[in-house]
Amino acid sequence: MSEIYSKRMNRRRFLAAGTAGLALLRPVAGAGAQPVFEEIPPETSGIRWVHDNAASPDHYLPETMGPGCAFLDFDNDGWMDIYLVNSGPCDFYKPKKPIRNALYKNNRDGTFTDVTEAAGVPGGTFGMGVAAADYDNDGFPDLFVTAYGRPILYHNNGNGTFTDVSEKAGLGAKIFEGHWTTSAVWFDFDNDGRLDLFVCSFVDDGTESHLSCGDNKLGRKFYCIPRVFKPTASLLFHNNGDGTFTEVSRGTDIEKALGKGLGVVATDINNDGRMDLFVANDTVQNFLFMNRGPDSKGRTKWEEIALAAEVGFSEDGRARSGMGVDAADFDGDGWQDLFVANVDQEMFSLYKNNKDETFRDVAFKNEVAQATRLLSGWGLRFFDYDNDGALDLFLANGHPDDMIDNYSQAVKYKEPLLLFHQENGQLRNVSNQSGPVFAKSFPARGLAIGDFNNDGRIDVLVGNNGGAPVLLRNHSGQDNHWLGVKLQGTKCNRDAVGARLAWSASGVKRTRMKNNGGSYLSSHDMREVLGLGKAAKLDWLEIQWPQPSGRTERFTDLPVDRYITITEGKGLS
Amino acid sequence: MRAFAKALGLALWLTCTPLTCISLAQPQPSSDALLRRAVELHQAGDIPAATSAYRAYLKQQPGNVMALSNLGAALAKEGQYEDAIVEYKKALEIDPRNLPVRVNLALAYYKTSQISLAAEELTKAVQQQPTNRQAIFLLADCDLRLGENKKVIGLLSPLEKASPNDKALVYLLGTALIRDNQSARGQMLVDRILREGESAEARLLLGTTKMNAQEFAEALVDLKKAVELNPQLPDVFSYYGLALLTTGDMAEAANAFRKELETNPNDFVSNLQLGVIFKQDQRYDEARSSFDRALRVRPGDPAVRYQLATLDLMTGNVEQACAKLEQLTRDTPNFVEAHVSLATVYYRLKRKADGDRERATVLKLNAESQAAQPGAKER
């Protein structure tokens, strides 16, 4: 078997070598072959929802900022469902027909059914993004929907329905007054076993009078550059464990650091066991909030260190237009690296962790800077799309100015998706070998990853501004093995955000941290898919659960090419 | 239009010829013969032999201004501008009011990209002889390159009434006005040029005006046309490159800057922008060369000094970056990017207190900048 396989691969490699150069070790999407990522049309998926961006001649900035999207298993049936965020009525927009968010239930056959009304999650405000997680540890993921206007916390009732508990939970309209919320992330900052909530706050859009950026040379209004708006402070809420939250950012660096937050990822930068936050800001510096643990009064101390860490500004000392972010140990050295996407001409940054709370931008070395010079990036994610064990990178792009085509030759409103594959420790742009969808252009914003067909190959969902979402089915890595792991905390937070996984396959050891957040306005499949490459067996898997237990559990004789659930202290189920 | 460009070119590119009014009273007879021979060789075009003869003569008569000046001219002819500068300066020490020598010194500075020194000498020349058009035009060109648009306007405006049809004057003055954002008056001069018909000069000025108004795509059309009409026109590729850069075509922009520098190696903008492109592409040695040339054109320019400092930072020369940035932030205390980089340097050097101080300055400057935003008008 292996010999025949090997011969087959050699022929494939030989054929690929003539056209694909460096892509020798990767299946190439050629004539007749399945693309790496295949666009699933609405008529196949059943996802017919379309984002309404509320576009108007006045060009109000919120119009161009959404939408976010999510993969989540809301009914706990083991299949990823989809949530899509829409705009809605607000002070400048009165829709002529009803607009709503959408929850699509996975029919387990590649199709989805719209269950929004039955589930009770239509939104109703001018929605931006979504963060899904099980904040009350009841085993069912809840939804926090950010908005221009009042955000909504939907509690999952566990029976296919949700309840808007925003006011009851202390996350009502009043506490978000003056905040235009964008990305949000659930994470346990104080290691008490409950997920807390960080919410990015974008600009101060003023009162009902709003801001206008006048006529441009086309004689029309255009979207204000966020520079003209005042910055705001993002918000951190502590989960009280009784269904309510308390704002705890007052007096901390989170409150002092006025920004224009668009993207956030929670991760552990310095491996101290406490989750930190990296926030991408538009036109002001990015923030890196280091979690220094409790002070003498038991309050968590946050220290903003982005400038010292060299992730706040460009190498030319400029604040850029940070939008999407992510964190991952992309080079496998055991330390979390960072990524931030910016607007065109600014290039995106890939920050390698120097292991001393500083970073070095290695985007150029990894072909990312060159490929993104003319692009504006939003949703993005590190993941191992071909299960070879190394993390790759997916970028969703689109220019915020819908009139940019009129005054720029090279920059367009709709932009291509980009896929980077990791080869020998370096990211390589493989977009043009990865399917026809990469030759198309989109006004992309949010991006979520998740394995909607449970084949172990992680799929992608892209939210498009003013258009239909794009669902991409992943066909790559057919010859590679994998193990999908759903972690279920008992002492720690139920979603095990902050857990560390280490595994060995064919003697090759790899590690991963279960971050949360990342991308832009979006939320991902909570399961981890461990790529094993050609190894048909996993030597062992170690889970270091987050605090408060912090226990490490080791597993052997695990199956491969399927999903398993591991419960803290209870093993496989 | 060719005549127009030629007129402008003539003003900018004076040639150095030997001075032949030899004073026979000063040197000894044997020296005199040596000098005559040097001048003959010079006039015959045998510059190396003439140079040797001048040097031999000057060993005997080191204070002869004409010989020093001629030696300078011979050296300049051979492209040895730095050596020429030494001889011209010696001549001027002896005879500070020698106008041709001063203009030649200015030209040598110009040729070696020392534009501010050239402007200094030309300012003295114009003060000495306010009607010297060659000096005036050359000074105007230097001032344009130094970004001293107001000086150009002050220099050329008085001449405009007397010579309203002097195309070189109208062009230089129009360029300065447009670069100084005096669009209305600049537009009048552009119109005057346009009445003469299609020309590279008119297109360049139109393109420049549109660039100032941030109408980049439209500017690109004019500048492309200007390039097609006269690729030799000073600054034409430089502005075309800027338009390409702002519309996102970095590769073509780099080509345009390179073309400008082929004919106009002293162009500040092209040297600076090409350096920035090299730096982004991590071609650090080439970036440094470009920045060095730009700095030579505009010594002390904060933007170039900043680029050089961050180049040091990127290439691991942290101490050098530190020294440059400390000086830069002293000279230009509101240069926020310089404070950011200086803070970075301090943090890298583990000078946390200094880093925190710079960080506080950054926060303060950014807050001031945010407060000073014009803001969008309320609907």
The verdict on a CB contact (< 8 Å) between A409 and B340 is no
Separation of alpha carbons B275 and B268, rounded Å: 11
Q: Evaluate the omega torsion of the peptide bond into residue A67 and state whether it is cis, within 30 degrees of 0.
A: yes
The verdict on a CB contact (< 8 Å) between A214 and B376 is yes
Chain B residues touching A285 at Cβ < 8 A: 366
The verdict on a CB contact (< 8 Å) between B379 and A227 is no
Look at residue A210 in the predicted model and tell me its pLDDT.
64
The verdict on a CB contact (< 8 Å) between B248 and A345 is yes
Q: Is A373 on the interface with B (CB under 8 A)?
A: yes
Q: Evaluate the omega torsion of the peptide bond into residue B18 and state whether it is cis, within 30 degrees of 0.
A: no
The verdict on a CB contact (< 8 Å) between A409 and B341 is no
The answer to whether the Cα torsion of A100, A104, A110, A111 is positive or negative is negative
Mutate to test the interface with A, among B210, B246, B279, B280 (most CBs of A within 10 A): B280
Chain A residues touching B215 at Cβ < 8 A: 217, 407
Describe the crossing of helices B167-179 and B149-162 by its angle, rounded to 10 degrees: 140
Sorting pLDDT into bands at 50, 70 and 90, what band is A214?
Answer: low
CB atoms within 10 A of CB A425: 12
* Lowest-pLDDT choice from A347-356, A552-561, B5-14: B5-14
Separation of alpha carbons B245 and B216, rounded Å: 9
What would the mean pLDDT of B216-223 be, rounded to a whole number?
88
| A-contacting residues in B 184-243 (Cβ below 8 Å) | 215-218, 220
Closest to B378 (Cβ–Cβ): which among A211, A347, A374? A211
What would the mean pLDDT of A149-176 be, rounded to a whole number?
97
Closest to A410 (Cβ–Cβ): which among B247, B314, B343? B247
Q: Is B359 on the interface with A (CB under 8 A)?
A: yes
- Express each pLDDT in B125-145 by its tens digit: 999 999 888 899 889 989 988
Q: Is A313 on the interface with B (CB under 8 A)?
A: yes
Chain A residues touching B250 at Cβ < 8 A: 373
What mean pLDDT, rounded, does chain B reach? 87
The verdict on a CB contact (< 8 Å) between B337 and A316 is yes
Q: Is A4 on the interface with B (CB under 8 A)?
A: no
Mutate to test the interface with A, among B337, B345, B358 (most CBs of A within 10 A): B337
Closest to B376 (Cβ–Cβ): which among A211, A231, A344? A211
Helix then strand then coil, in percent of chain B rounded to 5, is 75, 0, 25
In angstroms, what separates the C-alpha of A158 from chain B's closest C-alpha?
A: 46
Separation of alpha carbons A142 and A131, rounded Å: 8
CB atoms within 10 A of CB B373: 12
Chain B residues touching A408 at Cβ < 8 A: 216-217, 247-248
Q: Nearest-CA neighbor of A70 among A178, A150, A149, A156?
A: A156
Q: How far is CA B328 from the centre of its chain?
A: 21
- Express each pLDDT in A458-506 by its tens digit: 999 999 999 999 999 999 999 999 999 999 999 999 999 999 999 999 9
Closest to A408 (Cβ–Cβ): which among B217, B359, B373? B217
The percentage of residues in chain B with a pLDDT greater than 70, rounded to a whole number, is 91
Give the residue on B whose Cα is nearest the Cα of A307.
Answer: B344
Closest to B344 (Cβ–Cβ): which among A210, A213, A310? A310
Residue A536 vs residue A31, higher pLDDT: A536
Residues A461/A469, Cβ–Cβ less than 8 Å? yes
What would the mean pLDDT of A70-88 be, rounded to a whole number?
98
Sorting pLDDT into bands at 50, 70 and 90, what band is A245?
Answer: very high
Separation of alpha carbons A79 and A73, rounded Å: 6
Closest to B373 (Cβ–Cβ): which among A210, A228, A315? A228
Q: Nearest-CA neighbor of A237 among A163, A137, A170?
A: A170
SS (H, E, C) A112-129: EEECHHHHCCCCCCEEEE
Residue A5: pLDDT over 60: no
Look at residue B165 in the predicted model and tell me its pLDDT.
77
Closest to B248 (Cβ–Cβ): which among A213, A319, A374? A374
Q: Is A454 on the interface with B (CB under 8 A)?
A: no
Closest to A224 (Cβ–Cβ): which among B215, B343, B376? B376
Residues B135/B122, Cβ–Cβ less than 8 Å? yes
Q: Is A209 on the interface with B (CB under 8 A)?
A: yes
Residues A127/A147, Cβ–Cβ less than 8 Å? yes
Count of alpha carbons within 13 angstroms of residue A537, beta-carbon side? 5
Separation of alpha carbons A538 and A482, rounded Å: 9
Coil, strand, or helix at residue A251? Answer: coil
Q: Nearest-CA neighbor of B49 among B18, B93, B82, B88?
A: B18
Chain B residues touching A58 at Cβ < 8 A: 379
Give CATH superfamily name and number for B1-142.
Tetratricopeptide repeat domain (1.25.40.10)
Separation of alpha carbons B253 and B237, rounded Å: 9
Give the residue on A whose Cα is nearest the Cα of B374.
Answer: A228
Structure tokens at B15: 């040639």
Delimit the domains of chain B by residue range. Answer: 1-142
Sorting pLDDT into bands at 50, 70 and 90, what band is A25?
Answer: very low
The answer to whether the Cα torsion of A54, A59, A63, A64 is positive or negative is positive
Residues B377/A224, Cβ–Cβ less than 8 Å? no
Chain B residues touching A358 at Cβ < 8 A: 347-348
Q: Is A57 on the interface with B (CB under 8 A)?
A: no
Look at residue A134 in the predicted model and tell me its pLDDT.
98
Sorting pLDDT into bands at 50, 70 and 90, what band is A196?
Answer: very high
Look at residue B31 in the predicted model and tell me its pLDDT.
83
The answer to whether the Cα torsion of A498, A503, A509, A510 is positive or negative is negative
Separation of alpha carbons B276 and B279, rounded Å: 5
Distance linking the first and last C-alpha atoms of chain A: 32
Q: Which residues contact B184 (CB under 8 A, 6 or more apart)?
A: none
Q: Is A211 on the interface with B (CB under 8 A)?
A: yes
Residues B315/A295, Cβ–Cβ less than 8 Å? no
What would the mean pLDDT of A161-186 be, rounded to a whole number?
97
User: What are the backbone angles phi and psi of residue A256, rounded to the nearest 5°?
Assistant: -75, -30
Chain A residues touching B291 at Cβ < 8 A: none
The answer to whether the Cα torsion of B154, B159, B164, B167 is positive or negative is negative
Residue A62: pLDDT over 70: yes
What DSSP string runs through A478-525?
A: TT-EEEEEEEE-SSS-TT-TT-EEEEEETTEEEEEE--EE-BSS-B--
Look at residue B297 in the predicted model and tell me its pLDDT.
87
| B-contacting residues in A 382-401 (Cβ below 8 Å) | none
Sorting pLDDT into bands at 50, 70 and 90, what band is A218?
Answer: low
The verdict on a CB contact (< 8 Å) between A407 and B247 is yes
Let me know the angle formed at the C-alpha of B235 by B233 and B237, rounded to the nearest 5 degrees: 85
Sorting pLDDT into bands at 50, 70 and 90, what band is B374?
Answer: low
In angstroms, what separates the C-alpha of A212 from chain B's closest C-alpha?
A: 5
Q: Is B355 on the interface with A (CB under 8 A)?
A: yes
Q: Is B360 on the interface with A (CB under 8 A)?
A: no
Q: Is B308 on the interface with A (CB under 8 A)?
A: no
Sorting pLDDT into bands at 50, 70 and 90, what band is A410?
Answer: confident
Chain A residues touching B339 at Cβ < 8 A: 317
In angstroms, what separates the C-alpha of A356 from chain B's closest C-alpha?
A: 11
